[in-house]
Amino acid sequence: MAGRTSSSRSGQTEAYHRVATRFLDPETVWGLPSALGQATILVRPDRIFNRPTSVIVCGSNRPLLNWVAYALASITDPGFIWTDVRLQGEVLADADPLSRNLIPPDRMNVVHPKELALHRGGAKAVAESVIRADEPTDTVRRLADFLRLPLHTQRLLSAGPSQGQPMVLVLSNGHRLVAFYPTDAVGPTVRAIVESGATLIMTFADAPPEGRLVFETVLHLEGNDTRGWRQASLTAEKGPADGPLRSGSAYRLGEFDPVTDILASGLG
């Protein structure tokens, strides 16, 4: 943004370098290219998502979408951080997991849609000004992508994860951000989050968006309410080459073992 100060830009750059330094630590075990280099992967076979990745869950029932996102996040990283895009004065449904105080306050964020708008101005120029001239162009691109992220997202990424484990960021009501993210901006945004070492799980309570295929896993949830959750279906339009959510897989939620216990404990 044109009105940002140099100290603010410096803070953004420092946040990025905290992310980059953590992923380049030789004690850290990773598998995706980190912000400024390469590393190796720590595979967790007990998780559906065992490395930084991106997931979008599309459907029409917001409480049910949130329960599925809650279950996926819980089995991937019990310390997940949730951000809910909420309208002023909005009241949550009783069946919504976000209305039950299941997530500790220090891991639960409520933001207005405008707070997650991209920072478009000057990111590439700032990136070029703080990186050595002999650095690869991809390094400049990664830093510029990071600096375009909303400040809220930058802060979350710079604060975690720890001890070589990818962090999980859940974003609910992603459909409320469409006005701020043209289709060509979705890919770089998702990529910047994943390259920073996080798994992004986003819910989208509207018709599936045009840019959804930039996510590594695209899920469609069909179910009208939480009372009939066991019969609701979860279909992977796109997914990893192996694992339970590979492309074309489909389940009833009541038969999808990775999440059934969590959903049953919350919904009966």
Protein fold of 6-267: Rossmann fold (3.40.50)
Q: Which residue has the higher pLDDT, 23 or 180?
A: 180
54, 190 contact by CB (below 8 A) = yes
Cis bond before residue 244 (omega within 30° of 0): no
> What's the rounded Cα separation, in Å, for the pair 59 and 239?
17
Say how many C-beta atoms besides its own lie within 10 A of residue 61's C-beta.
22
Among the residue ranges 97-101, 128-132, 176-180, 181-185, the one predicted with the least confidence is 128-132
Per-residue pLDDT band for 131 (boundaries 50, 70, 90) equals: low
Q: Which residue has the higher pLDDT, 77 or 47?
A: 77
pLDDT for position 36: 34
pLDDT tens digits, residue range 14-54? Answer: 555 455 444 333 333 333 333 333 333 333 445 688 889 99
Q: What is the mean pLDDT of residues 212-223?
A: 97
pLDDT for position 162: 55
Backbone angles phi, psi at 254, to 5 degrees: -70, -10
pLDDT for position 47: 66
pLDDT for position 118: 86
pLDDT for position 15: 53
Among the residue ranges 33-47, 121-135, 138-152, 156-170, the one predicted with the least confidence is 33-47
pTM of the model: 0.81
Q: What is the mean pLDDT of residues 228-244?
A: 95
Name which of 161, 259, 262 is nearest 219 in CA terms.
Answer: 259
> What's the rounded Cα separation, in Å, for the pair 263 and 232?
12
Q: What is the mean pLDDT of the chain?
A: 81
pLDDT for position 40: 34
Q: What is the mean pLDDT of residues 236-246?
A: 93
144 residue type, one letter: A
> What's the rounded Cα separation, in Å, for the pair 149 and 155?
10
Name which of 250, 212, 253, 248 is nearest 229 in CA terms.
Answer: 253
pLDDT for position 81: 97
User: Is residue 1 predicted with pLDDT exceeding 50?
Assistant: no
pLDDT tens digits, residue range 182-217? Answer: 999 999 999 999 999 999 999 999 999 999 999 999
User: Is residue 133 predicted with pLDDT exceeding 80?
Assistant: no
16 residue type, one letter: Y
Per-residue pLDDT band for 7 (boundaries 50, 70, 90) equals: very low
